[in-house]
C-alpha cells in the first residue's frame, strides 16, 4: 500500500470484527492519527453511545454518524478511522465514501462464529445486542443482520479476512 496516495483509511465491518484494534495498530504502523467514529460522536455530545440510543433513539444516532463522518472527511489530514458497525448501512455512506478522492475503505470480514464468540461476553455495552440472552440467540441475530448489512460492507474497496489476529490482519492489508 502506498500511503502517499491514500490519505484516509476507513475500516468497516460488523461489531466485533476488530475495527478498533486493527485501526489503532494500522495508524501506529503508518504513523498517522487514529479516530473511532463512536468516540467522536460521544465527545461531541458528551454522552455514551448506549445513552444516545436510549435517550435520543437510533434514528438520531444514525444521523449523527453521517454528520460526524462528513466532518472528518472534510479535513485534509491523513488518518485511519474505524466506523461503527452500522455506519455504512445508513444515509448513503458507501456512496459518500466511494466518490471521495483519497479515501479507501477496508471491510474486515469475520465469520458469524467468530463474531458471536467475541461479542457474547461484551454484549451489554452494545445497545443492539444487549437484550440477547444466549449465544444461540446472538448467533442467529448476527446471521440475519449480516444478511442485510453485507450488501453495504461489500461496497468497500478492499476486503480482508478478520477471523485471525490483529497482526495477521495488518499484514494482509
Ligand atoms: C453499531 C455498532 C457500534 C455502535 C452502535 C451501533 C451497529 O459500533 O456504533 O452500538 O449498528 O452495528 P462498533 O461496531 O464499533 O461496536
Q: What is the DSSP letter of 155?
A: T
Query: pLDDT band for position 3 (50/70/90)?
Result: very low
DSSP 121: G
Residue 4 alpha carbon to ligand 1 centre in Å? 30
Q: Which fold has domain 8-108+153-172?
A: Rossmann fold (3.40.50)
Query: What is residue 123's predicted lDDT score, i.e. its pLDDT?
Result: 94
Q: In the structure, which protein residues have their CB atom closer than 6 angstroms to any atom of ligand 1? A: 15, 19, 38, 49, 84-86, 126-128
Model confidence pLDDT, tens digit, residues 131-172 = 999 999 999 999 999 999 999 999 999 999 999 999 999 999
Cell of 47: 454522552
Residue 18 known to bind ligand: yes
* Residue pair 102/8 in contact by the 8 Å Cβ criterion: yes
Q: Is 126 annotated as a binding residue?
A: yes
pLDDT exceeding 90 applies to what percent of the chain?
92
Can you give the three-state secondary structure of 28-68, one letter per residue? HHHCCCEEEHHHHHHHHHCCCHHHHHHHHCHHHHHHHHHHH
Instruction: Decide: 136 and 144 in contact? Cβ < 8 Å.
Output: no
Report the candidate in 46, 153, 166 with the shortest Cα–Cα distance to residue 94: 153
Q: Residue 50 has which C-alpha cell? A: 448506549
Which percentage of the chain shows pLDDT scores above 70? 97
Closest atom of ligand 1 to 127 CA is 10
CA distance 168 to 71: 31
- Cα 64–chain centre separation: 14
pLDDT digits 0-9 by tens, 125-138: 999 999 999 999 99
Q: Is 19 annotated as a binding residue?
A: yes
pLDDT of residue 24: 98
| The predicted structure's pLDDT at residue 7 | 87
List pLDDT tens digits, range 38-83: 999 999 889 999 999 999 999 999 999 999 999 999 998 999 999 9
Amino acid at each position: 500500500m502506498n500511503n502517499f496516495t491514500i490519505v484516509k483509511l476507513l475500516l468497516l465491518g460488523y461489531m466485533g470484527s476488530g475495527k478498533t484494534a486493527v485501526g489503532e495498530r494500522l495508524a501506529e504502523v503508518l504513523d498517522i492519527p487514529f479516530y473511532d467514529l463512536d468516540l467522536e460522536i460521544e465527545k461531541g455530545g458528551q454522552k455514551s453511545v448506549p445513552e444516545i440510543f436510549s435517550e435520543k433513539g437510533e434514528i438520531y444516532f444514525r444521523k449523527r454518524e453521517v454528520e460526524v463522518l462528513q466532518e472528518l472527511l472534510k479535513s485534509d489530514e491523513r488518518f485511519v478511522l474505524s466506523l461503527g458497525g452500522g455506519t455504512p448501512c445508513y444515509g448513503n455512506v458507501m456512496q459518500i465514501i466511494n466518490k471521495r478522492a483519497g479515501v479507501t475503505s477496508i471491510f474486515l470480514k469475520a465469520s458469524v462464529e467468530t463474531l458471536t464468540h467475541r461479542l457474547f461476553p461484551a454484549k451489554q455495552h452494545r445497545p443492539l445486542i444487549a437484550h440477547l440472552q444466549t449465544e444461540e440467540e446472538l448467533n442467529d441475530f448476527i446471521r440475519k443482520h449480516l444478511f442485510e448489512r453485507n450488501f453495504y460492507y461489500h461496497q468497500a474497496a478492499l476486503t480482508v479476512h478478520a477471523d485471525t489476529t490483529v497482526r495477521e490482519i495488518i499484514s494482509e492489508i
